[in-house]
Structure 1
Amino acid sequence: MKFLAGIFIQLLVLGICAAEKPNVILIMADDVGMEAFSCYGSLDYQTPNIDKIGKNGVLFKHCYAQALCTPSRNQIMTGRYNHRNYPGFGKLDKNEITFGKMMQDAGYVTAICGKWQLGRNRELINHFGFDEYLLWWLENKSERYNNVGELIGNGELLPGDQGEYGPDLMANFALDFITRHKDKPFFLYYPMILVHDPMDPTPDTQDSARLGVTLKDRKKLPKEVRSKMVKDNFVDMVHYMDKIVGKIDAKLEELGIRDNTILIFTGDNGTHSMISSNTKMGEIRGAKATLKDAGTHVPLVVSWPSQGVKGLVTDQLIDFSDFFVTLAEAGGGKMPSDRKMDGVSFLPTLQGKKSEQRKWVYSAYFNKFTLLRQDFIRTQRYKLYNDGSFYDIPNDRQEKNPISNPQGEALKVKNFLEAEMKIVSQTTRVIPKALYQGKKPKKKKSKNKI
């Protein structure tokens, strides 16, 4: 009887621990910098649902991603800088441990929905720790928005061309997953399709002049008309993205699980360069695929009603290696011990606790277009590149005027960053020649899809 009683107590304890685990939802928008959100001072867009997450939790003013989608996805999913594991564009090394696998091993039911673009093999999804999925561009790239094309969900091919709006299908999958697993700890990773180009109307677009106008049609229009249509469509896309986030937040409330759910929203890189946005800081043109501030500075808002602080706006530095360790700490996951991990948890900040915070963020970026490796390391104010160029970002957001002879505080920070970059950039990994050939940048034709 004592033996049975012991088993019962152990099972009871395990059940309590499982019940105490927070649900975690990580939403990552595609191609949108911090200048496109009203909570970050945007004047062109209204994002009340995303603003609400920050208002009821924490708004991080200094979160930095990589400059392009695949590099960011590698870093956020593995908690490691790209020079340690980046295999090339559109890939994720099968030997990497993702936060999906880590959360799965910690007792979570896991799912991913949205954009994949990390290897054309259905078996990869379960291999990387996701129990359920609905993904665009898993095997073949197709239309992502209006009259969405091929999707693959839980191993089944969905051919598309049914007149459906892709982001709605992803949102419905997310809502269904949350509903079915409301009584057990779940982890949902939602790398959104929105707001990547082409800039198309959404189901909520009211302007009849823009409805039904395809990318091919737009190319025939005068440049001024075309540019205005692109910007108007992008505004609608941002608003629709915010609407989807609001639906997820509302579903958590409806199910009575919002208090014990950590809801995270961020973006994978900066906005496309065809989009210029008016903000309280002035006009900011998107700089996706570059390491400029507007190419890597992304939003990050997080809330956890039952255990998190409310209404905190912080200058704390965050980079994409920090998400893995934060989720591990929140969900009781185990950190890999057989490889170098780069993140610093921001969970203490969410909970209002004091902790050691990172003093810099770092990026090792393998440029898809030039095949050159570019590194930078920065604080909230100063930014140093591996070629020695040094910038005062708040006073030079376009990075046109490098500081040639820093003095005082600037010199002190530069020396500090130089020393830190020398340490963090070291790796025993042999960089594949196909990834980094050291070629001079080639002049490329613009591929702006407007």
Structure 2
Amino acid sequence: MIRSIVIALLCVSLADATAFSAPPAKPNFIVILADDLGYECLGTDGGESYSTPHLDKLAAGGMRFDRAYAQPLCTPTRLQLMTGRYNVWNYTSFGELNRKETTFAQLLKPAGYATGIFGKWQLGQEVDSPQHFGFDVSCLWQQTRRPSRFPNPGLEFNGVERDFTNGEFGPDVVQAEALKFIDANRERPFFLYYPMILTHGPFIPTPSDPEYDPKAVNENAGQNKKFFASMVKHMDAHVGELERRLGQHGLLEKTLVLFIGDNGTGKGLTTRWRGRDYAGGKGLSTRAGMHVPFIASWPGVIPAGRVNNDLVDTTDVLPTLLDAAGVKPAEPSRLDGHSLLAMLQGQLGQPREWIYSWHPTASREFAAEKTLKLYADGRLVDYGRDPQQEHDITENTAETTAARERLQKVLSRFASARPAELKARDGKGYQDNMKAPPANRTSRKKAA
């Protein structure tokens, strides 16, 4: 009897190995970064307020990570995602990416990848910023300026400003360009980075709503929290359209799709999640501010319906892409992220024991395990049982003492990591430094 069970289990194991073989050489990559979308928003993660059928389907056919963390705000997360490094090394100020840094596009491009970025930039106003950081093609909002992003938007196409005036919806324009990129590069390896404009406020009707105003020139017109649900639905539909386009070109099994949020849902928004109300916590170092959805889809490589409970954060994306592409970074010791490729293939991999988060003030710098978090100012909290972090742990038990020692070692390894030339800028904090372009500059505007 036992022998029969062993044989049966072995057969199942062999069947899995056959069905989910090694990744193809030079797979395509699509990395989608949703703006201001917390963990509680997707149906697959227990959300009950919004319609996300396409993302739910994506998760059902692949893997979702139940303990994925980003930074509390978007610029810090974008830096970590694009460089695979914690902010302590390279954060300068809000809305800026240090031009000395190396991004995932710069590492994949020499390996033969076509690279494109579509969506929200907010990482420097230089005309050549996307190309400097390795992207062949770009269609972006908030690169050289900050006009409307929603109705009748102002966008930059490879640094050239274009204003739309016929009722176009910014996210739809960007979506069309992303689809064109897939069409144009379907015969070669490509990397599509999609930092979405949705679902960031202002919360206004989308073109699928009767209230949508195609003549609006002020993106704040008609703003109401009730339209957040519509924006989530519209964003989800865009993800579904990307997947359909991959299927039309026969690229589903050749493409790793990663979907992740950049920080928690905006404050003032309350979502029904697993039978209770969940308040958005963007900007906070609590779970509501940093716990984000993370889905990986790769038919034929990732076993369907998997839920991963290991700690992951946004620094893990870059090394995962490099690992899957067979690209070796010149200085792997500079990376803080861990490759998730083995986990995606159903193997154990090397799960993280901790994550780290840096901010110019010690009250926001911490190291965390799955449930316990130690701040640089000495506060220890159980964010598993106390997600709002309302109570510090003050008792010294064997468990808390051991946790403090482990987490303090993590904090100590980064104690001298901050480059001296950046320390002087830390007082700026997380303020948006996006300045209006000089009035006398030469216009690069092109009518759409």
TM-score band, normalised by shorter chain: 0.7 to 0.9
Aligned counterpart for 2:184 among listed residues 174, 180, 187:
180
The one of 409, 413, 436 equivalent to 2:426 is: 436
The whole-number CA distance in structure 1 between the counterparts of 2:414 and 2:62 is 31
2:165 matched residue in structure 1: 161
Per the alignment, in what secondary structure is the counterpart of residue 426 of structure 2?
coil
Aligned to 2:367, which of 374, 377, 385? Answer: 377
Task: Measure, in 1, the Cα distance between the counterparts of 2:234 and 2:228.
Answer: 10
Work out the CA distance in 2 between the residues paired with 1:435 and 1:61.
Answer: 35
In structure 2, what is the equivalent of residue 57 of structure 1?
Answer: 62
- Kindly tell me: are residues 217 and 49 of structure 1, through their superposed partners in 2, closer, same or farther at Cα, counting changes over 3 Å? closer
2:366 corresponds to which letter in structure 1? F
1:203 partnered with 2:193:
no
User: What one-letter code is carried by the residue in structure 2 that aligns with 1:259?
Assistant: E
Residue matched to 2:345: 351
Matched, 1:299 2:293: yes
CA–CA separation in structure 2 for the residues paired with 1:55 and 1:146: 33
Residue 110 of structure 1 aligns to a residue whose secondary structure is strand
Deviations 1:77-106 (A, max 9, x none): 001111111121111111111001111011
8 Å Cα contact 1:373-1:438 kept in structure 2: no
Q: Distance in 2 between matches of 1:438 and 1:232?
A: 33
Unaligned runs of 5+ in 1: 1-17, 219-228, 443-450
Name the aligned partner's letter for residue 399 of structure 2. E
Amino acid at match of 1:104: K
Q: Deviations over 1:103-162 (max 9, x none)?
A: 10111000000000111112121111101110111101010011212x111243212233
Q: Within 2, Cα distance between the matches of 1:234 and 1:24?
A: 28
Q: Partner residue of 1:360? A: 354
Q: Is residue 206–residue 212 contact of structure 2 (8 Å, CA) maintained in 1? A: no
Query: 2 CA distance for matches of 1:42 and 1:216?
Result: 27
Structure 1: how far apart are the matches of 2:380 and 2:394?
8
Paired position in structure 1 for 2:4: none
Aligned to 2:311: 317
| Aligned counterpart for 1:119 among listed residues 112, 115, 124 | 124
SS of the aligned residue for 1:416 comes to helix
Instruction: Look up the SS of the partner of 1:316 in the other structure.
Output: strand
Partner of 1:388: 378
- 1:279-290 pair list within 5 angstroms: 279-280=273-274, 282-290=276-284
1:326 partnered with 2:309:
no
TM-score after normalising by structure 2: 0.86
Contact 1:56 1:305 in 2 (8 A): yes
- State how far apart, in whole Å, the 1-side matches of 2:212 and 2:320 are: 45
CA–CA separation in structure 1 for the residues paired with 2:256 and 2:126: 30
Cα 1:333–1:162 change in 2 (3 A) is farther
**C-alpha contact 2:119 2:139 (8 A) present in aligned 1:** yes
What is the one-letter code of the residue matched to 1:353?
Answer: Q
Distance in 1, matches of 2:166 and 2:257, equals 32
Correspondence 1:257 to 2:251: yes
Instruction: Tell whether the 8 Å contact from 2:42 to 2:50 is kept in structure 1 after alignment.
Output: yes
CA distance in 2, matches of 1:279, 1:350: 26
What's the secondary structure of 1:362's corresponding residue? strand
Q: Tell me if structure 2 keeps the 8 A contact 1:147–1:166.
A: yes
Aligned equivalent of 1:132: 137
Q: Name the amino acid aligned to 1:97.
A: T
Q: Which runs of 5+ in 2 are unaligned?
A: 1-22, 432-448
Residue-by-residue CA offset, 1:49-93 (whole Å, 9 max, x unaligned):
111121111100011111111111111100111111112111111
Amino acid in the other structure paired with 1:350: L
> Quick one: which amino acid aligns to residue 29 of structure 2?
V
1:399 and 2:404 aligned: no
Instruction: Note if contact 1:83-1:425 (Cα within 8 Å) is conserved in structure 2.
Output: no
1:189 maps to 193
Q: Distance in 2 between matches of 1:115 and 1:323?
A: 18
Report the AA paired with residue 164 of structure 1: E
Q: Measure the CA separation in 2 of the matches of 1:428 and 1:233.
A: 41
- Partner Cα separation in structure 2 for residue 147 and residue 170 of structure 1: 12
User: Partner letter of residue 95 of structure 1?
Assistant: K
Match of 1:419 among 409, 412, 428: 409
Amino acid at match of 1:128: F
1:207 to partner: Cα distance: 5.9
Q: What amino acid maps onto 1:265 in structure 2?
A: F
